[in-house]
Chain A
Amino acid sequence: GQNIDQPTEMTATEGAIVQINCTYQTSGFNGLFWYQQHAGEAPTFLSYNVLDGLEEKGRFSSFLSRSKGYSYLLLKELQMKDSASYLCAVRDRGSARQLTFGSGTQLTVLP
C-alpha cells in the first residue's frame, strides 16, 4: 500500500516563493505526480518525477528523492490565482498504474 503525507494548509504572500513537501512510504514506486485543484474543479497536472532530482517547468519545480521517500513542489513568483489545493500522488508498479493521492495542501496566497 501507499502512505502519503503533506501539510494540510500553507499561506504565502503574492510574489514570494513557497515549498510544499510530500513524504511517502510505498510498497512499489513508479513515479510521483503533483496536481493542482481549485475548489469544485478536477485536478490539473503540474509535474511528474520518476528519477531523483529537480524538474523545472516555468514557475513550478518539483524535486524527488527516492531513497528518502520525499518530494517537494516549489512555486515561484506566487500569484493570487495559485491559491488552490496541491495534491501529491504516487503511482504504483501494478499493471493498472494506479495513483494514490495525499490529502492535499491548501495554499492561500495573500496580497
Chain B
Amino acid sequence: GAVVSQHPSRVICKSGTSVKIECRSLDFQATTMFWYRQFPKQSLMLMATSNEGSKATYEQGVEKDKFLINHASLTLSTLTVTSAHPEDSSFYICSAKHSSQNYNEQFFGPGTRLTVL
C-alpha cells in the first residue's frame, strides 16, 4: 500500500509553454501533498505544501503565480509550471502524507523530469 504516482515521468517542452504535472495517491487518502524540486547532484528543496480544498503554502523564493498548485481531491494534486524557461528544467517530485496518524513517513512519487528547450 501507500503508492504515489506522477504523470508524466518525463516531459520536454519549448520555452514559454506551460506544463502540468499530476501527483496521485493510488491507495490512500492524502490531505497534504508536498512538491519538491531537485537539481542535479543537489538535495530535494521543498517548493510548496498542498492541502486539499485550500490554497497551497509556498516556500520563500517560490513564485506562486509561476508554479500553480491545485489539490482538488484527497488523491490528486497538480503542479503547473507556467511560461516555462530553461532554468525551470529540473526533477520535480511530489510526496503525500497519509491522512491516518499511524503513518509517519511521506510517500514519494517517482518524479517528473522536466526539460525546457
Task: Give chain A's interface residues, CB within 8 Å of chain B.
Answer: 31, 33, 35, 40-45, 48, 50, 87, 96-104, 106
Contact = CB atoms under 8 A, between A and B. Distances in A.
A89 to B, nearest CB: 8
Q: Could you say which interface size class chain B belongs to?
A: 20 to 34
Contacts of B28: none
Contact of B91 (A33, A40, A96, A103): A40
B108 A42 contact: yes
Interface in B70-96: 91, 93, 95
Q: Identify the interface centre among A43, A48, A87, A99: most chain B CB within 10 Å of its CB.
A: A43
Contact residues of A: prevailing secondary structure: loop
A71 to B, nearest CB: 15
B25 to A, nearest CB: 14
A40 B44 CA distance: 12
Contact of B105 (A40, A48, A96): A48
A99 B32 CA distance: 12
B105 A104 contact: no
A102 B110 contact: no
Nearest to B50: A96
Contacts of B113: 40
Interface in B30-59: 32, 34, 41-46, 49, 51, 57
24 contacts: A31-B104, A33-B104, A33-B105, A35-B108, A40-B111, A41-B110, A42-B93, A42-B110, A43-B44, A43-B93, A45-B105, A48-B105, A87-B43, A96-B32, A96-B49, A97-B32, A97-B97, A98-B49, A99-B106, A101-B45, A102-B43, A103-B42, A103-B43, A104-B43
A44 B43 contact: no
B44 A41 contact: no
A48 B107 CA distance: 13
B36 to A, nearest CB: 8
Contacts of B46: 98-101
Given A31-B104, A42-B110, A104-B42, 20 more contacts: A33-B105, A40-B91, A41-B111, A42-B93, A42-B108, A43-B108, A44-B108, A45-B105, A45-B107, A48-B104, A48-B105, A87-B43, A96-B32, A96-B51, A96-B57, A98-B46, A99-B46, A101-B45, A103-B42, A103-B43
